[in-house]
Every structure is written in C-alpha cells, then in structure tokens.
Amino acid sequence: MQSSYFRKNIEKMVGYVPGEQPQDGEYIKLNTNENPYPPSPKVLTALKEAVNEKLRLYPDPSATAVKEKVAEILGTRPERVMVGNGSDELLTIIIRCFVGKGDKVVYPYPTYLLYKILSDIQDGTVCTVDFHEDYSLPEEIVDKGGSIIFLCNPNSPSGTMTSVDEVSNIAAKTESVIVVDEAYVDFANDNCLRLVDEHPNLIILRTLSKSYSLAGMRLGFAIAQEGLISGMMKVKDSYNIDRLSIAAAVAALGDQETFRENVAKIRGTRERLMDALKKLGFSVYRSQTNFVMIKCANNFAAKDIYERLKEQKILIRYIEEPGLEDCLRITVGTEGEIDALLEKMGQIKHSS
Ligand SMILES: Cc1ncc(COP(=O)(O)O)c(C=O)c1O
C-alpha cells in the first residue's frame, strides 16, 4: 500500500480542533467567543431582500460594497481594504502570500492556535517566543527573522492587550510582515488601525464574527497599505464572499447603534464577571475582549471545573496546550448566562 498520498508536512500535522459546537441549543455556550446578542434587525431584513433571483449570478469578486462601508466607518480608503470569508480565510491568504517552505513564522505563545496549523500547511518553520508571566510581549519577537509575525491583539486566550506604541515599535524595527489580528479589538480601549499609515509592513485583521454577532455569516476584512492589499487580492478565490454575506455585512456595519449597544453591554458584563471570579479566588487576567481567562489554584483543577460545568450544560473552554493546563477561558454571555455560570462555579468551589 502506498504510504500516503499527502505531502509529508500534511501527513505529520494535526488539524485545527475548533471549540465544541453543539447544534441542539441545550447548552449555555461560553466556549467560542460568539456574541450572545442577535445581529442587528437590519441584517435580517437585508438578508431576506437578498434572497432573490440574482442568486443565479456570481457575487462581486471584490465585495466592493463592504469595502466602501468599512472605509467609511473606519476612515480609510476602499483600496486599503480586502474582504475575506471570515478573518480565518484572510489568515490563510496571508500565509500563502508570505510563507514558503522553511520560512519562519513568528508569534508569541500562547496565542490563537490556528497560526501554527497554517504554518504547518505551508511547511513553514514555527518560531515562538513565550509571553512573559503577565502576558506582556517579549522584545525578542523582532529578532527572530520571521517572514511574518502574528500578533493577536488583544490576545486569545489571555484577553490581554499589547499597547499600540509597542506594536508600532515592533513594526518599525523589523522587515517582517506584521499581522495584527484584531478579532476582539472592538471590546478594547484602543486599536492599531492608525499605524497602517506609518508602516508598509503592517496588516490589520478584523471580523464581524464577534462584535457584530455574525459568526454564522463568515465575514472578515484586512486593512493595509495598497501594495500589500493588491498583492493579497491575487491569492484569493475569485468569488470568496457570497451575495448574502455581502448584504449582511453592509447592513451590520451600517447599524452602528446596535453594534455600540451590544459592545457596551458585553464590556459591562465582562467587568462584573472579572470581579466575581476574583471574589471566587481565581487569578483573573485583565481582559480587553469578550472573554475572560482565569488561572486556577492547584487544588482547584481547571479541567475538572470545565467537566463539571459541562455536565451541568454550561460550556467553557479548556485548552489542552502547554502552559494553559491550569487555565480556563470563559466567553462573556448575557447577564443571565453569567449569573448561571457564577452560581455553578460557586457551588463547585464550595464542594471542592
Ligand atoms: C484570534 C482570532 N482570530 C481570528 C478568528 C477567526 O474569526 P473569523 O470568524 O472571522 O474567521 C478567531 C475566531 O475565534 C480568533 O479567535
């Protein structure tokens, strides 16, 4: 029998394992950082209108309407925007653009697990630098000679944020392409968008999956100087964004009021959750996202808490990766969901 049809690096690698996605709705789902609130009603209206005979035609290959809306809202130019089928697709496009066999892919650890998978697919060489204990960024990140540096900012799973000045310094000191993955930045106090003007090697990634409640539509975008964007456009599938996603994205971006209200609610609940978790005796990392990471004391095992909550139909994220064994990541849900979580966590704590 032929040993394998696959390239060696594909055969060796382990595929990405997404968080559990039960489809029956019986769980309180605090494991994959979705938004607990529904998308803008305008999205649902736009989708209904877009379900028409035009579906027989291919969509706009550049998703121009989305680019224009993003440019208007964020104060940039449509030529600096590229739209993707989720920001995950943009990460794939980026790595295909800049990383060949053996090229270094650099990022601080622990962070978004997909960066490693994408690098493995390209047969790149992963080169990580551990975050400091408090999740501040190690300076050595610039000295590794990466073709690319991924900075998830705010970071997942820690929820912590590296300052915009620090990111700017890194971008200035290196010739690597720097990808600032801002999937969660709408929940933070600052963002790196203004750095795009100064740094021709910088790409910002955003998504509508979290702050706009559209994880199910798959819509992300990249912002960078024109040279990078036009090069990246060569690598994408011709029609990567379908007609319905374009309609939904334009409507979601157009309803800034709903967006701001939902973000404000989540930020408020996040602060309450952080305080309550501290009172329960956990170490809580300063979150700038829609999730909170906690560290459990040694007699209070993280995996055990995850399993006991799951038995009670509450899903949070336990990440089986080195350095995260005693940590749990909890998505900020509605006030009611967080009440239920805290009640159960209190019971688990008192019974252990
Ligand atoms: C850090 C980070 N980047 C990117 C993504 C992907 O987002 P999207 O739904 O836009 O593909 C996620 C999703 O969880 C994420 O956590």
Whether 341 is in the pocket of ligand 1, judged by its Cβ within 6 Å, is no
Q: What is the pLDDT of residues 181-231, one digit of tens each?
A: 999 999 999 999 999 999 999 999 999 999 999 999 999 999 999 999 999
**Residue with CA at minimum distance from ligand 1 atom 15:** 183
**Nearest Cα residue to 109 out of 147, 87, 88, 140:** 140
CA distance 301 to 347: 15
How much is the pLDDT for 182?
98
Would the CA dihedral through 190, 193, 194, 198 be positive or negative? Answer: positive
Q: How far is CA 310 from the centre of its chain?
A: 23
CA 88 to centroid of ligand 1, rounded, Å: 6
User: DSSP class of residue 317?
Assistant: B
pLDDT at 17: 84
Reported as a pLDDT band with limits 50, 70 and 90, residue 298 is low
Q: Could you tell me the pLDDT band of residue 70, with boundaries at 50, 70 and 90?
A: very high
Q: Is the pLDDT of residue 18 over 80?
A: yes
Q: Which fold is adopted by the domain 8-38+257-351?
A: Aspartate Aminotransferase, domain 1 (3.90.1150)
41-255 classified as CATH 3.50.50.60:
no
Q: What is the mean pLDDT of the segment spanning 288-309?
A: 90
87 lines ligand 1 (CB under 6 A): yes
Query: Which residues 6+ apart lie within 8 Å of 90 measured at CB?
Result: 82, 84, 205, 220, 221, 222, 232
194-233: b or e for each residue (b if 16 or more CB lie within 10 Å)? ebbeebebbbbbbbbbbbbbbbebbbbbbbbbeebbeebe
Ligand 1: atom nearest CA of 33 is 14
**Measured between alpha carbons, how far is 293 from 286 in angstroms, rounded to an integer?**
8
Task: Categorize the per-residue pLDDT at 179 as very low, low, confident or very high, splitting at 50, 70 and 90.
Answer: very high
Where are the chain's structural domains?
8-38+257-351, 41-255
* Mean pLDDT, rounded, for 63-91: 98
**Eight-class DSSP state of 23:** S
Q: Supply the pLDDT for residue 299.
A: 56
Q: Whose CA is nearest to atom 3 of ligand 1?
A: 183
pLDDT in tens, 225-261: 999 999 999 999 999 999 999 999 999 999 999 999 9
Check whether 175 has a pLDDT greater than 90.
yes
Cα 223 to ligand 1 centroid, rounded to whole Å: 16
